[in-house]
């Protein structure tokens, strides 16, 4: 079903006109209220009145994660704190998080956009929607929660429950849709198989998955093991949370809610916009957000715009499945982590070199993380095994409290981790798709 027919099927010409009008308003708003945009615009001598078409977007500066980190906590907000009704945050590349605010209107808009995501895969008020996303600072849980409630579905907030409890809820409450990371769906499938329970005993028919990269192969695997139809959806907290782009029943790319976001694909090296159909970095400009508007925000995600129209009738353009990142960010069961954050923690510890490797594999659907670290030459000599165990415990507590990361820690002799020919260590070895 199409949730918001007027906008989702708008004539392209009208949509582009709407985008330009909304962009103008947003530019005035950020110039007036966000000091780093005022400086950026002044430095580049940008006259907002001269931004008259989408082509003129190119004249505007990009926003990077770094700009938002430097605005910690509230400098990037475009409204006073009294108008903020919700605060989420996301990890920056180093220790400082990016803080995202929402006004009442923003939350309303967010719920409607999530309503589009749910409707487009056939979820409606007859559905029992089990949400297995985290309900804390990340946007998956609460984002889907309010969107599903707005749609009138029965919402089961199940995050944080361990897998047996999830399955029990799913079976007894007859959940018809599961919303989670694709990895968690595989985890549920493994648990069902271990219990010897046939997924046909459940009432589940739809799975809506996102927040981490996955492949067509994983889609097929989830569908055959859980006996459901699985759909992809994309979003990021800085721009909104879930609700930015979504598959429809045809599953040939994700429609971008272009009445709220202007999308560009750029070459990450030259920063020049690329034509439709060419792969590059996704860049979004928000055009309806009040509290946290962003101009040309570089997502770091790689994809491309799919040319041509979709048979569902939506005129909103589609992006292809996210194929990777331009940086080294890794996503562990929906949690985004930069190796530089781990490095910063290691610098706080004594007795280790900042040489480490992160090995990612799958264990019953979820990500198993092994952190291999080189210790200094005197580490093994100055004390016995006990100190190594203490060290590992201390580090794993730090990883878990600061980054929400559970990892097996393996200590390695100095210079034992393989260096590439340029003597640089490959930080991340990701074997999850193998
Ligand atoms: O992951 C928002 C979200 C929640 C989207 C639930 C969909 C479902 P962040 O925690 O800020 O927000 O992480 C955003 O996750 O830049 C991508 O790298 C990655 N990502 C999100 N959706 C997908 C997807 C939420 N469908 C970052 N495929 C983004 C691949 C995805 N990667």
| DSSP assignment of 69-98 | HHTTTTTT-SS-GGG--EEEEE--SSSPPE
Average pLDDT over residues 422-430: 82
pLDDT at 403 (0 to 100): 93
Q: What is the pLDDT of residues 139-167, one digit of tens each?
A: 999 999 999 999 999 999 999 789 999 99
Q: Calculate how far, in angstroms, residue 278's C-alpha sits from the geometric centre of ligand 1.
A: 21
Given a contact cutoff of 8 angstroms between Cβ atoms, the answer to whether 15 and 259 are in contact is: yes
Strands 177-180 and 128-131: parallel
- CATH 3.40.50.12780 domain residues, the chain: 1-326
Residue 253 pLDDT greater than 70, yes or no: yes
| Whether the CB of 234 sits within 6 Å of ligand 1 | yes
| Whether the CB of 232 sits within 6 Å of ligand 1 | yes
Protein residue with least CA distance to atom 30, ligand 1: 213
| Whether the CB of 322 sits within 6 Å of ligand 1 | yes
The CATH architecture of the domain made up of 1-326 is: 3-Layer(aba) Sandwich (3.40)
CA angle 383, 386, 391 (to 5 degrees): 90
Residue 91 pLDDT greater than 70, yes or no: yes
Rounded to 10 deg, the angle between the 104-120 and 140-151 helix axes is 70
Which atom of ligand 1 is least distant from the CA of 241? 2
Beta-bridge mates of residue 5: none
Confidence of residue 418 (pLDDT cuts 50, 70, 90): confident
3-class state of residue 232 by DSSP: strand
Which atom of ligand 1 is least distant from the CA of 233? 26
Given a contact cutoff of 8 angstroms between Cβ atoms, the answer to whether 54 and 20 are in contact is: yes
Residue 382 pLDDT greater than 60, yes or no: no
Residue for token digits 């003129």?
Answer: 56
pLDDT at 413 (0 to 100): 87
CATH superfamily of 329-430: ANL, C-terminal domain (3.30.300.30)
Say which range, 144-153, 180-189, 286-295, 382-391, has the weakest mean pLDDT: 382-391
pLDDT at 423 (0 to 100): 64
CA angle 173, 174, 179 (to 5 degrees): 95
Average pLDDT over residues 401-412: 93
> What distance in Å separates the CA atoms of residue 143 and residue 159, rounded to the nearest whole number?
13
Residue for token digits 């490095």?
Answer: 343
Residue 73: asked if its preceding bond is cis (omega within 30°), the reply is yes
- CATH 3.30.300.30 domain residues, the chain: 329-430
Average pLDDT over residues 327-353: 90
> What distance in Å separates the CA atoms of residue 7 and residue 1, rounded to the nearest whole number?
14
pLDDT at 390 (0 to 100): 87
Which atom of ligand 1 is least distant from the CA of 244? 5
| Cα first-last separation, the chain | 36
Residue 94 pLDDT greater than 90, yes or no: no
Which atom of ligand 1 is least distant from the CA of 237? 11
Helices (H) and strands (E) in the chain, counts: 12, 21
**What is the value of pTM for the model shown?**
0.96
Average pLDDT over residues 126-132: 98
pLDDT at 352 (0 to 100): 79
């Amino acid at each position: 079903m199409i949730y918001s027919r007027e906008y989702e099927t708008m004539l392209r010409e009208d949509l582009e006109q709407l985008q330009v009008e909304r962009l103008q308003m947003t530019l005035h708003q950020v110039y007036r209220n966000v000091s780093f945009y005022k400086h950026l615009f002044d430095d580049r001598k940008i006259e907002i009145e001269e931004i008259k078409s989408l082509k003129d977007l190119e004249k505007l500066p990009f926003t990077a994660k770094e700009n938002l980190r430097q605005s910690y906590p509230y400098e990037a907000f475009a409204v006073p704190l009294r108008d903020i009704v919700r605060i989420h945050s996301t990890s920056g590349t180093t220790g400082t998080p990016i803080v995202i605010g929402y006004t009442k209107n923003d939350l309303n808009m967010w719920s409607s956009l999530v309503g589009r995501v749910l409707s487009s895969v056939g979820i409606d008020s007859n559905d029992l929607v089990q949400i297995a996303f985290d309900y804390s600072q990340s946007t998956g849980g609460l984002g889907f929660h309010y969107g599903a409630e707005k749609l009138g579905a029965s919402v089961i907030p199940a995050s944080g429950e361990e897998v047996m409890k999830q399955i029990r809820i799913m079976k007894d409450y007859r959940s018809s849709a599961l919303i989670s990371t694709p990895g968690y769906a595989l985890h549920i499938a493994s648990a069902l198989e271990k219990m010897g329970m046939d997924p046909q005993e459940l009432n589940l028919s739809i799975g809506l998955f996102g927040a981490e990269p996955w492949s067509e192969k994983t889609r097929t695997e989830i569908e055959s093991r859980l006996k459901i139809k699985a759909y992809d959806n994309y979003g990021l907290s800085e721009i909104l949370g879930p609700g930015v782009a979504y598959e429809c029943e045809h599953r040939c790319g994700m429609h971008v809610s272009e009445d709220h976001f202007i999308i560009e694909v750029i070459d990450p090296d030259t920063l020049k916009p690329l034509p439709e159909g060419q792969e590059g970095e996704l860049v979004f400009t928000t055009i309806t957000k009040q509290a946290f508007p962003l101009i040309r925000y570089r997502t770091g995600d790689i994809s491309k715009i799919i040319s041509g129209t979709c048979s569902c009738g939506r005129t909103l353009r589609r992006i292809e499945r996210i194929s990777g990142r331009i940086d080294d960010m890794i996503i562990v069961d929906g949690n985004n982590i930069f190796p530089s954050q781990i490095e910063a923690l290691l610098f706080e510890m004594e007795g280790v070199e900042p040489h480490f490797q992160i090995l990612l594999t799958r264990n019953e659907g979820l990500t198993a993380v092994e952190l291999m670290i080189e210790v200094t030459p005197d580490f093994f000599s100055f004390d016995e095994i006990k100190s190594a165990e203490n060290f590992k415990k201390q580090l794993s507590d730090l990883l878990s409290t600061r980054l929400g990361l559970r990892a097996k820690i393996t200590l390695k002799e100095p210079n034992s981790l393989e260096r590439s020919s340029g003597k640089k260590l490959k930080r991340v070895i990701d074997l999850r798709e193998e």
